[in-house]
Amino acid sequence: MNLPRTTLAALVLLAGAVSAQIPAHPSEIDFPALDFTPPAGPEYRHELDGVPVYVVPSHEFPLVTVTFTFKGGEYLTTKAQSGLSSALGNQMRRGGTTTMGPDEVDETLDFLAANAGTFVGGETSGATINCLKANFDEAFALFMDIVRNPGFDEEKLRVYKDQVIEGFEDRNDNPMGVAMPTLGRLAFGEGHYSTWEATKASVEAITPDAMLALHGKIFHPGNLLVGVTGDVEPEEILAKLATAFEGWDALERNPDPPVPDHDLQAGMFHARTTQADLPQGTTLIVGKGIQRDDPDAIPLRIMNDILGGGGFTSRVTNRVRSDEGLAYTAITQMQPNVWYPGLFFGFFQSKNRTVALATKLIFDEIERIRNEPVTEEELRVAKEALVEGFPQRFASKASMLGVFINDELTGRDPAYWQTWRDRVKAVDAAAVQRVAQQHLHPDEMALLVVGDWDAIVDGDLEGRASMNEFFGGEVEHLPMLDPMTREPMDEDEAVQP
């Protein structure tokens, strides 16, 4: 087809204009500043007889999601009851109700194209229903029956307990399955609820009456926060909730979870798996952390992103993985807790002979960030990543609700997020070094290695590092715990047949 000369000339001019707008290199692309204002929780907050209710309408699809969050969890039980809270969370959904058997509950939810779930965690518990707007009334009525009147079917409970106990068999097979419980005991002690492990005896002791007693402590309006999103109008859904809550007595709100009475054990520790000939060691370097709302939380987050939490822009990842090729994953994390201080830790898995070298490199980087200011480029990258990623916290209506509910449950100021980016931008290199010096103390950390100690201890063949360089070479070899009783095993028992 022959184009008219005027059209051809116009296309030539257009192509030239477009070409002139294309940068010579991607780094020259100029992106406009992101204009984003975080949503304010109080704008979506309502209250029904003392129960906070957040309603965030979303009319894209004819669906409704209701989430109940309750204050209370495993910390309300005892160590001898380990496993009870998980069983309650599972069996509330799987065990039917007092008026409807478990199979009928499943069939009804399937017929309504509705999904319902329940859980009981360490500090909080919850229940969620997602359904079509067209059959919300029927689906929500069944959901309320599940939450308020669990049936705890005996056969479903028996099957659940058998499956849990069977799963205990491989507790000592996986390095991370050994490392994480061991880390918990070193950090918080065996008496704290966060370190309890269910045993065969504690699971076998679970009864419907025990679950019902724990259910009564947690699942009532005194502990409840509600989140609703989907194709709803606030006035209408609030009326439906008010009707559903009639006759549901609010008891006393549960206390905050207890603070551990145990200090982190510093030193070098070794634990084993049943796989005696593992070719690599799993290593955790653990230090004391902070509470979530510590004034140093933001500069510590930036410090950690530069140190080892920022992926391929972080020092630990570059030194251990990119430069030396010692591990596929090498990271550090600062994990605050809400009610008591959390942990700082470094993690990697490396060949037995290079565990010591990778450990040395991480300790070197910890010392460097304590003793030298970070570069302006490192600081800029870390801060921009946080600021530019900030809107993701509110990317969906469900994530918005999660922020609002978590903040109210844990007592955070609703205005916290309005100034968060400004506080990130205000962090300078001096603040990063200050928090590193104040919160990272290598001599007070615990070094936990899971693997074949005899193959690990001497270090790499080039003699760059050995495990004897850390903590004066003193190591405590921790006993393997029986998978069923969680009591220490002797050497003969721990040997893989």
pLDDT digits (tens, 9 = 90+) for 352-407: 999 999 999 999 999 999 999 999 999 999 999 999 999 999 999 999 999 999 99
15 is a domain residue = no
Residues 226 and 273 both lie in one domain = no
Is 101 within the bounds of a domain? yes
**Total domains in the fold of the chain:** 2
Mean pLDDT throughout 250-271? 97
pLDDT of 41 above 90: yes
* 380 within a domain of the structure (yes/no): yes
Token look-up 């903040």 returns: 407
| In-domain check, residue 426 | yes
Closest to 115 measured CA to CA, from 159, 57, 63: 63
Same domain as 149, residue 195: yes
Q: What pLDDT does 35 receive?
A: 76
Query: Looking at the structure, do residues 289 and 206 belong to the same domain, yes or no?
Result: no
112 found inside a domain: yes
Contacts of the segment 413-419: beta carbons below 8 A, 24+ positions apart? 414/40, 414/41, 414/42, 415/40, 417/38, 417/393, 418/38, 418/40
Range of the domain at 199: 41-244
Q: End of a domain among 244, 259, 277? A: 244
Task: Note whether 119 and 240 are same-domain residues.
Answer: yes
Instruction: Give residue 19's pLDDT.
Output: 57
pLDDT tens, residue by residue, 108-120? 999 999 999 999 9
Residue with tokens 């919300």: 136
Among 211, 244, 277, give the residue marking a domain's end. 244
467 is a domain residue: yes
Residue 497 has a pLDDT of 40
Q: Are residues 405 and 276 part of one domain?
A: yes
**Mean predicted lDDT score pLDDT of the chain:** 94
Clarify whether residues 191 and 334 are in a common domain. no
Residue that terminates a domain, selected from 244, 259, 293: 244
Same domain, 295 and 430: yes
In the chain, the N- to C-terminal Cα span, in Å, equals: 80
Clarify whether residues 223 and 291 are in a common domain: no
277 domain residue, yes or no: yes
Same domain, 224 and 302: no
323 and 401 housed in the same domain: yes
Does residue 285 lie in a domain region? yes
Domain with residue 206: its CATH number is: 3.30.830.10
